[in-house]
Chains A and B, each alone.
Chain A
Amino acid sequence: MCGKVLKQGLMYAVMLAVAALFVFPFYWLLISAFKTKAQIFVLPPQFFPDPVVVQNFADVFRATPIARAFVNSCVIAGGHTLLALFLCSMGGYAFAKFPGAPGRDKLFAFVLGTMMIPAAVTLIPVFIVLTRLHLVNTYWAMILPGAANAFGIFWMRQYIAANVHDDLLAAARIDGCSEFGIYWRVALPIARPALAALGILVLISSWNNLMWAFIVLREKSMYTMPLLIYLLHGELRTPYGMVMAGGLLVTLPLIAAFLVFQRSFIQGITVGALKA
């Protein structure tokens, strides 16, 4: 009996220690944002900033266009996510609910086949296309590529096929609802959980995207948060205090949202496993 309690206690101690280890880098980010550069590199390390410095935040707002970058990130991640959700849900709805349409199965098989294309292969041509369309250094360069997401259309189709009943659509049709209205007002509300999961996946990868921002965004006024922080970190005599303050600002919204909606987040990040 006593051994069992001891064993259980040990188990909890290990679990807490592991969780703490995984969260620790976030703690380090948090406290480093409130340290001067000298405090960040001092030995022994300060596990709590002494003194607590808020100057970094003032500096990063004064010296870099971080407020603008935050707005850019919101527009890009929001626009990209909404566009992807719209395209994928409308396409997925069509593939799920128009079984008789000529060529439907072939088109769907084709979409599935394109899921295998790695982004690495299309990287250069997409850049060329954006250049030719004069979209480099605009929001569109970040919003359009990848919005027609083959996995997304597959995911929405599966969910709508399983959860939206044909009777409901037929009833709406008899009531004189337009075809678009049926998709928008009948099917979409039912597909909300699937939209949430896909939306979170797309939103996070868009918000965190560094490589594509590095390639297509040229002017300071267009920088996203990750790009701004990357370039700040690359400066000569890196201003670490500002880098950490900015890093905290780009990470915080995600962590806050994750803590509130953690179930949807975990489902969203792992929706791809459905294929397994």
Chain B
Amino acid sequence: MAGAAQHRGAFWSEVWRYRHFYLFISPFFLLFAVFGLYPLGFSLYLSFMKWDGLTAPVSVGLENFVMLFSDEMFYTALWNTLVIGLMYVPPMFLLAFIFAGILNSKRLHLRGLFRVGVFMPCITPMVVVAIVFTLLYSAESGLFNYVLRAVTRLFPGGPMAPIPWLESEAWSKVSVALLLVWRWTGYNMVLMLAGLQGISDDYYEAAIIDGATRWQRMRHITLPLMRPTLVFCGLMSLIGTVYMFDEVFVMTQGGPGTSSTNFGLYLFNLAFMDFRFGLASSAAYTVSIAVFVVSLVILKWRRPATD
């Protein structure tokens, strides 16, 4: 009894001794509690409520989740997210990998200029970029169609018909994907360059002595050792595609129809256009948990292969 009290006294005197520690972290935790923790719990609570933000919330049990999984638009949004991701991530990875290789070869000049050019899209306001691309994509007077027609005019069959980049359901995802490749290649390039620079030259020298071909060195040294970097880039792309917003909000408004509505825009519309706070919260939770699980699966591949 006395021992416990003494122990407790010792604990509090330790806390007092380290009071500056708690003082220093308290502003962070205060703000974090208000804008991070409380919202996290409140959002979970809202998942089981029907609420428009004005009238009193009504408890509806699991109805939001039932409604979510019977909402055709939910599946459309997930499908669009997947298709856009599959359209832009592979070419972006390939380009970023090649560009990183260029930046990593020390014999080349102009690398600084190249890096600045390719990286520049990553820092600019998406709203401006999306508007510029809207102009470039314009079917009648856009530069892309102008150039395509000018080039195809030289071939038999004459100039091709203008592509309805943003006007047709078939092309809208392609247009978004192209914008994303342009926007994020530089980011992945820089990350992959850091990965390449982390690989010691010794491996390559030993492999060359052993007579390994260029392809064998790529296959058995570079790719296995780049695995953590590639996994990280993959994770960022996954998260970025699911929660992407500005690109589609500005350039396509999710259309034509619903052809380019990804999950991020779907969620935004549920919450701040339809004011279905309960349904939106359940959608956010459901997809966030799914993304989290997929991330864990991807992270399993993080460790560099040792074969």
Contacts and interface: CB of A to CB of B under 8 A. Distances in A.
Contact of B110 (A12, A120, A148, A204): A12
B171 interface: no
Interface residues of B, number: 93
B239 interface: yes
A91 B28 contact: yes
B146 A88 contact: no
A90 B24 contact: yes
B178 to A, nearest CB: 11
B289 to A, nearest CB: 9
B187 interface: yes
Nearest to A117: B40
A95 B287 CA distance: 32
Interface centre among B11, B25, B138, B277 (most CB of A within 10 A): B25
Contact of B128 (A11, A29, A102): A29
Given A128-B42, A145-B35, A19 B264 contact: no
B135 A240 contact: yes
A258 interface: yes
Given A32-B132, A254-B125, A259-B116, A121 B25 contact: no
Contacts of B37: 114
A182 B286 CA distance: 45
A256 to B, nearest CB: 11
A118 B127 contact: no
Chain B interface helix/strand/loop/mixed:
helix
B118 A22 contact: yes
A87 B14 CA distance: 24
A123 interface: yes
Contact of A179 (B20, B120, B129, B288): B20
Contact of B228 (A12, A226, A276): A276
Given A29-B128, A98-B21, A148-B32, A211 B190 contact: no
Interface in A197-226: 204, 207-208, 210-211, 214-215, 225-226
Which 5 residue pairs spanning A and B have beta carbons closest together? Answer: A19-B117, A125-B39, A276-B232, A94-B24, A122-B39
Given A107-B25, A258-B116, 4 more contacts: A22-B117, A122-B40, A207-B125, A247-B131
Interface of A: 8, 11-12, 15-16, 18-20, 22-23, 25-26, 28-29, 32, 40-45, 86-88, 90-91, 93-95, 98, 100-102, 104, 107, 114, 116-129, 144-148, 150, 153, 179-180, 183, 204, 207-208, 210-211, 214-215, 225-226, 229-230, 233, 240, 243-244, 247-248, 250-251, 254-255, 258-259, 262, 265-266, 269-270, 272-273, 275-276
